[in-house]
A and B are shown apart, each in its own frame.
Chain A
């Protein structure tokens, strides 16, 4: 799974550390790190919580290009 740089960028815009974001959405820092590194697929519930915390939409943070989806397969 490719890295999720959109979350990292959105976090930087809000001047939030991974720990701050983790606390805001109620998960561990390791989970946020795993999501950003592309090592973990969050549930839709967690995706929405992250979007709310960062003030972004699902598409802005979690949209994946077709070529990336095909590469995964």
Chain B
């Protein structure tokens, strides 16, 4: 199928790309907030499966395009320290969501605490392993591109 001709000049194209980029981040952040909120108010997995699927597609797309071009992130350094900090942040978010989800289930304080700790540790480990694997792939790709 023949694509229609681009009617924008170079400056307009740059401005549109910037706004599309911001839109992408609004979408991802919004999905994260909405999913966390829905989980926090006690909706089960079937209610948030659609949002999770879309968020997964966005993350996979973002990672794949970054990997292909040997780009890690605009601001974050590609190292283990950054991965630890980001994983700790995700663990913190999971702790908050878990606390929200369990606070009105009639559980005892210790049960809620255990659930929060388990959720935050599991999330930290998951994101740390995922980001470490991504870092390994990125470094390999970077080396490949630099040697081309």
Query: Hey, which bits of chain A sit against chain B, CB under 8 A?
Result: 26-28, 30-31, 34, 40, 42-43, 46
Q: Does B148 sit within 8 A of A, measured CB to CB?
A: no
Report how many A-B pairs have Cβ atoms within 8 Å.
20
Q: What is the total number of residues of chain B having a CB less than 8 Å from a CB of chain A? A: 5
Binary flags per residue of B28-55, CB closer than 8 Å to A gives 1, else 0? 0000000000000000000000000000
Does B110 sit within 8 A of A, measured CB to CB? no
Any A CB within 8 A of the CB of B12: yes
- Interface membership of B10, Cβ < 8 A: yes
Pull 5 A–B residue pairs with CB atoms less than 8 Å apart, ordered by A: A26-B9, A28-B11, A31-B11, A31-B12, A43-B10
Give B114 Cβ to nearest chain A Cβ, in Å: 54
B9 touches A40 (CB 8 A): no
- Report B13 CB to chain A, min CB distance, Å: 10
Q: How far is the CA of A43 from the CA of B11 in the complex (A)?
A: 9
CA distance A24 to B9 in the complex (A): 13
